[in-house]
Amino acid sequence: MHGKRILLGVTGGIAAYKAAALTSKMVQAGAHVDVMMTESAAKFITPLTLQTLSRNRVHMDTFDEQDPSVVSHIHLADHADLIIIAPATANTIAKLAGGFADDMLSTTLLAASCPVLIAPAMNVHMYEHPAVVDNMKRLAERGVMFIEPGTGQLACGYVAKGRLAEPEDIMEAASRWFSRKELLAGKRVLVTAGGTMERLDPVRYLTNDSSGKMGFAIAEAARMMGAEVTVIKGRTSVAAPAGVRVIQVESAEQMLEQATALYSNCDIVVKAAAVADYRPVVVADQKIKKKGDRLLLELERTTDILETLGERKEHQFLIGFAAETDQVERYAMDKLRRKNCDWIVANDVSAEGAGFDGDTNILSVYGPDGLIEALPLMSKRSAAARLMELAAVASRGGEPE
């Protein structure tokens, strides 16, 4: 963290006292720390305490502009390498999820483009309330990172989940993010995502249940590790992550064309898209009219994109996906060998929590010698981050840690 600029947001919970220890530890680690407090936070810990520990003025009032050469909340947002909010109350999380800007902290967050790390702290029933759960999910979908609260004695008397993570844990998470950011620096990563569409006529097509969430999570993880990322996307149900180049395609043939055109300049390729195996032999120019009790369609094989990339592989580290419903390891290893992949990431899509459109996944990463690592049920973002950590090391010839 040495030399990094950290913006620490402190909100109005009893755990605000831990912000003092966190500030001190970050300063000792060589970080430049700017503290921003809500009015409620100042009821629990004084601005003077955090000013003394950070050695910088504490910001509370949006309109308290002491430097006429800058607009404070924009200046702070522009220069921060990381924003940490600890503790983050249910109210602050709701305001950030809703895009409100009614105090210094929420206004600054709207102007920020750097990563945000949130450490919630509240009563267990508040933490588990559907509104709070939904707000955290919305923020996570925008790339916000969370440190789960711990379980223990809460100020309200409960012994349950909801207490703020310890300063050491927050420091470790921040340090891990900074170190991870360099893992793919200078690398070019190509990701395919979503499902392809094979036209029957101008209004109908063949497709699948892929949402694009896993591919987008991989692209986001690669970008956060410093890579230059391009996503070739088919049909998806969610928006692509910010900060990546997006190429929209429709059919398997279009995805093949784009992938092969970009392939030679890529270092790591992750083919997470669910590509159609077959397409109609004839595509009607006009809408097919209903007639008779049956309609027969003649289909032909599409070109296998992963196999094509495997045949042309030179320096690229090629990762394929295998969505299976049985004998996962057998089919994954067979696919890896047939298609000349470095890794196959397999999942049993029939398992609970591992389906196409969900926010979680269960993955097994296979290399030429068999299983490399099995990832248990976790969010697709967490699974993608771990996958790309492993790939960053392996693509440089190292052993997974």
Going along 171-329, which residue ranges are E strands?
188-193, 198-201, 204-206, 228-233, 245-248, 268-271, 278-280, 299-301, 317-324
Spot the catalytic one: 114, 156, 266, 341.
Answer: 156
CA distance 343 to 319: 5
291 annotated to bind ligand = no
285 annotated to bind ligand = no
What does the block give as tokens for 42? 């100042």
What does the block give as tokens for 68? 């006429």
- Candidates 134, 165, 169, 132; CA nearest to 151 is 165
161 annotated to bind ligand = no
What does the block give as tokens for 313? 């592989």
335 annotated to bind ligand = yes
137 annotated to bind ligand = no
- Crossing angle, helix 18-28 and helix 47-54, to 10 degrees? 10
Whether residue 400 is preceded by a cis peptide bond, meaning omega within 30 degrees of 0, is no
What is the per-residue burial (b if ≥16 Cβ within 10 Å, else e) of 45-64?
A: bebeebbebbeeebbbebee
- Candidates 336, 369, 337, 364; CA nearest to 349 is 364
Active site residue 114: no
Q: What is the DSSP letter of 371?
A: E
CA distance readout (Å), 323 to 5, 209, 269, 350: 42, 12, 18, 9
Residue positions forming the annotated binding site: 277, 287, 321, 335, 339
Active centre residues (catalytic):
156
Annotated binding site for CTP: 277, 287, 321, 335, 339
